[in-house]
């Protein structure tokens, strides 16, 4: 009977070891994705699964044309994500668009499957292009997500055609608006991301946000208004009150019709200057 007892002990030992073994990175990622379900509000805006988040997803669409007061110089552009699929860049160029931002990554778990077509296509047609990262601060540290972004398309080169990467920090489509962080913790997370991004690329990242979210989730922090260009989202006829004490905006996202519309606050030479650093 001894061999039977030994066999039972071996089987039990194997089961115990299997239960105690750490989950693989793939398993952890799958569990994390399963837990990251879009809210009902996010689903109503077309975010049906993890990774679907896009700039300004919770902004209220408007068909109101932005007011242009001469002699202000501006340049028109767009931003895109996987929702746009393969973009007809020649058509966008013909429509007067001269720059584009393309979603590269989200959190530390998603990359845009259309990134190459969108990022390279905008460049090839003559646009100045950049990449953006949709932040999910509850998933991992700012440094972790900045590295993930740079490693998956968010880098920068001084070629006069590549804009600094943008941190898309806004409403959480998967849960609590401020990702479960206090205002102080959120500012720390953002600083961690921005510092890491600059260490990796040599550039200060652009911050995309809006007044409401920034006020709620960072306490309207003024920590970044002298270093990081502001990309403000406001679907109206003017940018309105800027968040965080920024003295001026660099880019204004003013509509999502028929695609996210943006206006650079300066002429083409200033846009090229931003690209060159």
**Catalytic residue check, 79:** yes
Q: Is residue 29 located within the same domain as residue 148? A: no
The pLDDT of residue 42 is: 86
Is residue 49 a part of any domain in this protein?
A: no
Chain segment 116-149, per-residue pLDDT in tens: 999 999 999 999 999 999 999 999 999 999 999 9
Q: What are the structure tokens assigned to 34, written together? A: 């399963």
**Catalytic residue check, 52:** no
Using 50, 70 and 90 to split pLDDT, how confident is the model at 63? very low
Distance of alpha carbon 57 from alpha carbon 176, whole angstroms: 15
Using 50, 70 and 90 to split pLDDT, how confident is the model at 57? low
Listed in order, strand segments (DSSP E) in 24-139 are 75-80, 99-106, 110-111, 128-134
Q: Is residue 234 located within the same domain as residue 184? A: yes
Q: Which of 91, 101, 103 is nearest to 123 (CA)?
A: 101
The pLDDT of residue 24 is above 60: no
Q: What are the structure tokens assigned to 10, written together? A: 């071996």
Residues in contact with 27: Cβ distance below 8 Å, sequence separation at least 6, in sequence order:
none
The pLDDT of residue 199 is above 80: yes
The pLDDT of residue 139 is: 96
Is residue 52 a part of any domain in this protein?
A: no
Q: Is residue 174 located within the same domain as residue 269? A: yes
∠ Cα 267 268 269 (to 5°): 95
Q: What are the structure tokens assigned to 187, written together? A: 């500012």
Distance of alpha carbon 59 from alpha carbon 48, whole angstroms: 17
Phi, psi (rounded to 5 degrees) for 129: -125, 160
Cis geometry, peptide bond prior to residue 194 (ω within 30 degrees of 0): no
Distance of alpha carbon 72 from alpha carbon 266, whole angstroms: 7
Distance of alpha carbon 83 from alpha carbon 22, whole angstroms: 36
Query: Active site residue: 41, 52, 159, 168, which one?
Result: 168
Handedness of CA 85, 86, 88, 90 (dihedral sign): positive
Write out the residue range of the structural domain in which residue 7 sits: 2-35
Query: Active site residue: 52, 79, 106, 204, which one?
Result: 79
Using 50, 70 and 90 to split pLDDT, how confident is the model at 274? very high
Distance of alpha carbon 139 from alpha carbon 169, whole angstroms: 13
Is residue 54 a part of any domain in this protein?
A: no
Distance of alpha carbon 131 from alpha carbon 206, whole angstroms: 10
SS (H, E, C) 184-242: HHHHHHHHHHHHHHHHHHCCCCEEEECHHHHHHHHCCCCCCCCCCCEEEECCCCCCCCC
∠ Cα 251 207 187 (to 5°): 150
Q: Is residue 148 located within the same domain as residue 27? A: no
Query: Active site residue: 52, 106, 170, 260, which one?
Result: 170
In percent, how much of the chain has pLDDT > 70? 82
Q: What are the structure tokens assigned to 207, written together? A: 């911050």
Mean pLDDT of the chain: 87
Q: What are the structure tokens assigned to 81, written together? A: 């994500």
Q: Concatenate the DSSP letters of all residues of 117-169 into one string.
A: HHHHHHHHTT-EEEEEEE--TTTS-HHHHHHHHHHTT----SSSSBPPPEEE-
Domain count, the chain: 2
Q: Is residue 95 located within the same domain as residue 163? A: yes
Q: What are the structure tokens assigned to 95, written together? A: 């429509």
**Catalytic residue check, 204:** no
Specify the pTM: 0.83
The one-character DSSP state at 77 is E
Is residue 134 a part of any domain in this protein?
A: yes
The pLDDT of residue 106 is above 90: yes
Chain segment 111-124, per-residue pLDDT in tens: 999 999 999 999 99
Domain CATH number, residue 271? 3.20.20.80
Q: Is residue 241 located within the same domain as residue 175? A: yes
């Amino acid at each position: 009977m001894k061999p039977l007892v030994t066999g039972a002990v071996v089987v039990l030992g194997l089961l115990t070891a299997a239960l105690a073994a750490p989950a693989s990175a793939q398993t952890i990622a799958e569990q994390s994705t399963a837990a990251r379900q879009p809210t009902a509000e996010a689903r109503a805006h077309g975010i049906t699964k993890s990774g679907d988040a896009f700039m300004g997803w919770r902004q209220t669409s408007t068909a109101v044309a932005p007011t242009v007061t001469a002699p202000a110089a501006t340049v028109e552009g767009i931003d895109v994500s996987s929702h746009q699929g393969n973009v007809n860049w020649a058509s966008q160029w013909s429509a007067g668009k001269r720059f584009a931002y393309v979603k590269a990554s989200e959190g530390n778990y998603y990359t845009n499957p259309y990134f190459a077509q969108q990022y390279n296509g905008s460049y090839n047609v003559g646009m100045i292009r950049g990449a953006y990262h949709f932040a999910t601060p509850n998933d991992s540290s700012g440094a972790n997500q900045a590295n993930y972004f740079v490693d998956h398309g968010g880098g920068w080169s001084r070629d006069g055609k590549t804009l600094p990467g943008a941190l898309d920090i806004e409403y959480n489509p998967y849960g609590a608006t401020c990702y479960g962080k206090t205002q102080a913790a959120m500012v720390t997370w953002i600083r961690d991301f921005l510092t890491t991004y600059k260490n990796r690329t040599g550039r200060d990242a652009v911050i995309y946000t809006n007044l409401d979210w920034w006020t709620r989730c960072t306490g309207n922090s003024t920590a970044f208004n002298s270093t990081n260009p502001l990309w403000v989202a406001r679907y109206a006829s003017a940018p309105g009150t800027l968040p965080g004490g920024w003295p001026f905006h660099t880019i204004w996202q003013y509509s999502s019709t028929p695609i996210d519309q943006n206006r650079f606050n300066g002429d083409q030479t200033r846009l090229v200057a931003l690209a060159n650093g």
